[in-house]
Structure 1
């Protein structure tokens, strides 16, 4: 009887090992699935036309807590100064030196001292397309604010983000340690997370995700195995010759960090005023759904939709730039 019992145990163990092996092979095959880059999105590439680059400040750098040099650009406030400050977070693929310069320059021209940051993994900050761990971008921003406070200890700061940078800004606004750093958050054409009703499929052609690899890495994390997060999982529709200026792919950990945790999670946790700006002609987002989506979770969020503006036009079009720069320069911490 003992022999039969032993045989049964060994048989069960054999089948269990076979099942584990099969799952391992499936996950390995999913991780090995190649990431395909989408074709260039012309509306994004064309957004650089007409931007006055002659006023672009030089790239400066500060050292983050891990010793990495992080790039940023400082726009001194034009006289008369408003006694306000702003930090701008660019969108996916970009940096402080891309087309959002049209907006950051306009904000400073209205008397708001402005800083545009190269998020780690972009521009002059760290390794292109990757970071060390999820949460590192928040650590970098804390370090950057500390750098600003050396010369401007009491300047009230507004956090402004565009697209994926707006999703990250919402993540920041919901983080307890960072809530008191900013008096207000302004989200421009925000990516609100994979499950938001404001998303167009594949961001209108801008982004292509390696879903098998994403699912496999998520499954491994559920099992307590956080491996391979340096692998690219998201490809962006940048021009093939733009590697000097733009990031073409994101690693799993960069993609997870440079985003909101989900608007239904982050919005309820925010404590400071939030304003969302969108454009009626946004080719990546469904702007007319912003108000319904966010106000169902947080009724106090102010939503403004600008007629005739597309996704990149929100930071480049003179019409949108004027509206947003005026808003940042005149609305205070007590207004949403």
Structure 2
């Protein structure tokens, strides 16, 4: 009798858990936030007339993924390659000002449409967690950028660059530059909702995280993030991320270990007036992770998007890569 009672109690608890999980999966997704103009307005004054034409490479699953190549200005020999990874919701076009600045400085710049963005596959989703890492390796092996090679990631792309820099594929690049990188929701740089840029479907994230821990990934296509984009550029931007894409386009969950495992020259660049992250605490993030040797530079009077647009910030990015190349050479 006692065994039957206990079995019934366990069954009742499991039923409640399953109902809660089902409810979180069905109705626990993100809501659309109000447009954040400070992240879209800076591009109104950008001249895209010299935007590099899209090129393509084949990923291991046969998908044709998009990138743009900016050769060194004036036909000079290349000083090395800079591979640019855009921020959340964006695509290779958002890296155009930065790519031009590197090209003018004598580098070959490559701006990627990460899978799930721009012209690289269906927007907002990927097939599995880790596919972005595979795609990046396929890009390097197919396109073969000349060395020294620096991976430069901005915002969420900076978080992804950090993931690569502290992961098993870090030898793909000689240097890493993290520009206003997303690190983790528990990090001291984190602002709630990224300062208003993102809405998180917390119940769905929790449910999917629990399911993934027991090997259930069938629901990883469900959206968990929604971005504060304008109506006008929605055709160009990615309005939401699935659980798979959101999880892959950031550092590993143990972000401090991720930072400690970086064995290549690396640096951080951020705008002093960043409205998405708390820029003054980037140094603390890397110090707390045991890597105070990774330098953090703050560009005065610069917000989040302006870090990739303003002349002073772009010049600082070039200088950072030049310093990293010097370290890699030694």
* TM-score (structure 2 length as normaliser): 0.94
> Are 2:14 and 1:20 aligned?
yes
Structure with greater Cα Rg: 1
Give SS of 1:14's match: helix
1:16-36 C-alpha deviation (Å, 9 max, x unpaired): 111111110011111122420
Structure 2 residue aligned with 1:323: 316
Please report how far the alpha carbon of residue 326 of structure 1 lies from its aligned counterpart in structure 2 after TM superposition. 3.4
Structure 2 residue aligned with 1:230: 221
Structure 1 residue aligned with 2:247: 256
Structure 2 residue aligned with 1:112: 107
Structure 1 residue aligned with 2:41: 46
Alignment of 1:194-209 (within 5 A): 194-209=185-200
1:208-233 C-alpha deviation (Å, 9 max, x unpaired): 10001111111222333233110000
Q: Which consecutive segments of 4 or more residues in structure 1 shift more than 6 A?
A: none
> Are 2:86 and 1:95 aligned?
no
Please report how far the alpha carbon of residue 180 of structure 1 lies from its aligned counterpart in structure 2 after TM superposition. 1.6
Please report how far the alpha carbon of residue 11 of structure 1 lies from its aligned counterpart in structure 2 after TM superposition. 2.6
> Are 2:266 and 1:270 aligned?
no
Structure 2 residue aligned with 1:162: 154
1:89-119 C-alpha deviation (Å, 9 max, x unpaired): 0000000012x21111110111001111110
Please report how far the alpha carbon of residue 156 of structure 1 lies from its aligned counterpart in structure 2 after TM superposition. 1.5
Give SS of 1:125's match: coil
Q: Aligned to 1:31, which of 25, 32, 38?
A: 25
Structure 1 residue aligned with 2:276: 284
> Are 2:124 and 1:133 aligned?
no
What is the alpha-carbon root mean square deviation over aligned residues?
1.6
Q: Aligned to 2:296, which of 300, 303, 310?
A: 303
Cα pair 1:85 1:155 within 8 Å, conserved: yes
